[in-house]
Amino acid sequence: MRLTWAQPEDLLAHELVQSAAEGRDVRAVRDRWVAAGGDPTPAVSGAGPQPAGPELRALARELLGELRRLPAAPAPHEPDSWTEIVALLPPAPALPAADRAADGSGAGPAYDERVRGAWTGRAAGCLLGKPVEKLPREGIEEILRATGRWPLDRWFTARGLPADVAARWTWNRRSAGTSLEENIDGMPEDDDLNYPMLALDLVERHGRGFTTDDVAQLWLDSLPAGRTFTAERVAYRNILDARPVPETATHDNPFREWIGALIRTDLFGWVSPGDVREAARLAWVDARLSHTRNGVYGAMWAAALAAASMTCADVEEVLDAAGTVVPPGSRLADAVRLGREVGAACDGSEQSVRRSLDRLHDAYRGLHWVHVLNNAAVVAFALSAGRGRFGASVSLAVTAGWDTDSVGATVGGVAGALLGVEGIGEQWTAPIDDRIATSLPGGERRISDLARRTVALAGAGGAA
């Protein structure tokens, strides 16, 4: 059995990278692993080509323990506690409030339309990136050129794709049958949509006072373990091992600063229209189950983007507001600043986009394609360079070639909220048909119903 994101020998290779990033001296551990025949190079996918034998796997477990005990370098600019994070932040911005119904009884039609646009845009952006998830930039470009769709401005297709290109750059195995132009029939199941639906259930059950333990219990109640990946899969294992929070996020979890928490938190922003600090607080409570430092800040930033997109007038205002929830000296803040800078300078031409993406890839060349820093930079870049246009924004995000479905989802949620469903355009909305498949209990959901429930939560102050 090839068990992804969980085998000790695979975790160790990733932990060597993560521990070094946290200032631990990993040289002795790495040398022991290599001397025993272990591969120190992290797998691109969830597991290496061959599982380790019993002796080597036992050594990997032992060495993971040694890395846990090594001291990390002090990082006062990247704290984990909410109190310490808030102490580093600038004042929260005063954003417009969501509109209210004429009789004052609840949320108004403009907010309702933004929520529907956000859910729909998140689905469309995710769907665009699904078939090429894990492919590098050059593979995505070759596929698009071979099918006459470069630069990207519509769904991917296998029609007309030469056999040699298809063999060189294989579609994502789970997604090719449901995410190409010729076979889309609603939004297929994806963790980038499962998690916002879980968050909706969470706030309906517990209100804004939910705890991280409540998040853990909801995972056990509703989230199939096989549909978790990277940090979430490790945290799930740690929950079942009865490890307390925040040890769920740190014990043998080398993915603690990857993108997993960022994809979970849009809902907290949608139910906190204009209140980026509250959205970030809710995201922090959720994210600390599985992530630390920049992994948590990414979740806070995504929630703040979503909150700002409910009331701001344009994408630059959204980015300005969301940036206030990120510790300014953190690596996540650096990534967002770089993405915005590169996006502002991009004029949308093929040459300019290429130069822009070259710059991002040069800056984050050594990171895994699922890390939070490179992908946050892409989100900021795509939102800025897309200038508020839906198709341009999600296409830029996917063309970048890292975690294509996740960045497409986050970018699509923001752009969709600002534009509303009609502004997204029928090209992107019609194939989705208001439907999202899910592996959560209850099966397929209607976007219109998810939006209604989301609006009701904001109108009720997030109470169940």
Q: What is the 3-state secondary structure (H, E, C) of 346-362?
A: CCCCHHHHHHHHHHHHH
Rounded Cα distance between 430 and 39, Å, is 47
Query: Strand, coil or helix: what is 437?
Result: coil
Continuous segment of H or E residues that includes residue 122: helix 109-129
Task: Give the per-residue pLDDT at 461.
Answer: 52
Bond from prior residue into 188 cis (ω within 30 degrees of 0): no
Rounded Cα distance between 253 and 260, Å, is 12
Averaged pLDDT, 114-134:
98
Q: Is the pLDDT of residue 106 over 80?
A: no
Helix axes 191-206, 212-222, angle to 10 degrees: 120
Please, are residues 408 and 125 in contact by the beta-carbon 8 Å criterion? yes
Task: Give the per-residue pLDDT at 44.
Answer: 93
Q: Tokens for 294?
A: 């920049």
Geometric angle at alpha carbon 286, from 255 and 76, rounded to 5°: 65
Task: Give the per-residue pLDDT at 203.
Answer: 98
Q: Is the pLDDT of residue 321 over 70?
A: yes
Number of H helices, E strands in the chain: 22, 2
Residues contacting residue 423 through CB under 8 Å, at least 6 positions apart:
117, 390
Long-range pairs for 358-366 at CB < 8 Å and ≥24 separation? 360/400, 361/137, 363/338, 364/335
**Quick one: which of 464, 91, 98, 113 has its CA closest to 272?**
98
According to DSSP, the residues that pair with 258 across neighbouring strands are 371
**Quick one: which of 285, 223, 308, 265 has its CA closest to 122?**
265
If pLDDT is split at 50, 70 and 90, which confidence band does 19 have?
Answer: very high
If pLDDT is split at 50, 70 and 90, which confidence band does 320 have?
Answer: very high
Percent of the chain surpassing pLDDT 70: 98
Most distant pair of Cα atoms in the chain: their distance: 73
Question: DSSP letter string over 318-375?
Answer: HHHHHGGGS-TTSHHHHHHHHHHHHHHH--SSHHHHHHHHHHHHHHTTTS-TTBHHHH
Q: Is the pLDDT of residue 463 over 60?
A: no
Domains and CATH numbers, the chain: 8-69 (no CATH), 90-133+186-459 (1.10.4080.10)
For the whole prediction, is pTM greater than 0.85? yes
If pLDDT is split at 50, 70 and 90, which confidence band does 272 have?
Answer: very high
